[in-house]
Amino acid sequence: MLKKLARPSTTLFRVDKFIVPAAARDEFLDQVSRTGALLGTLAGCLQSHILEQASRSGEVSIVTIVEWDRAESIEQARAEVRAMQRRMGVDPQEMLARLGIRADMASYSPVDQARG
């Protein structure tokens, strides 16, 4: 049985999954870590994790999971991340294409465990 934590009913999870060629791992993780560090300082961020799984295919799976208190916090965070990327001269779409990274990014809502 899953442990139910006391959370506001408005919480959302941003889950971004990336398939990264092994040769691109360090550069990509550097950027993901910078973004994660910023997110952890923002209002509404309840928790943030970066996870990794190596595969036999020579690729690495990187997953980021961030729990937000409400949808508005995600929108504010997007603006902050974009501003940071502009200051750093990072174009995220160009970086993904250049490094050959495949991405699946979405927001998820918790399933109500009280429903039978």
* CA separation for the pair 5, 67 (Å, rounded): 13
Helices 92-99, 25-39: crossing angle, 10 deg rounding:
150
At 112, the pLDDT band (50, 70, 90 cuts) reads confident
- CA-atom Rg of the chain in angstroms: 16
Domain ranges of the chain: 12-108
Can you tell me the distance from the alpha carbon of 101 to that of 95, in angstroms, rounded to the nearest whole number? 8
Nearest Cα to 52, choosing from 76, 78, 19, 5?
A: 19
| pTM (two decimals) | 0.85
Which has the higher per-residue pLDDT, 98 or 58?
A: 98
The domain 12-108: what is its CATH number?
Answer: 3.30.70.100
What average pLDDT does the segment 25-46 reach? 96
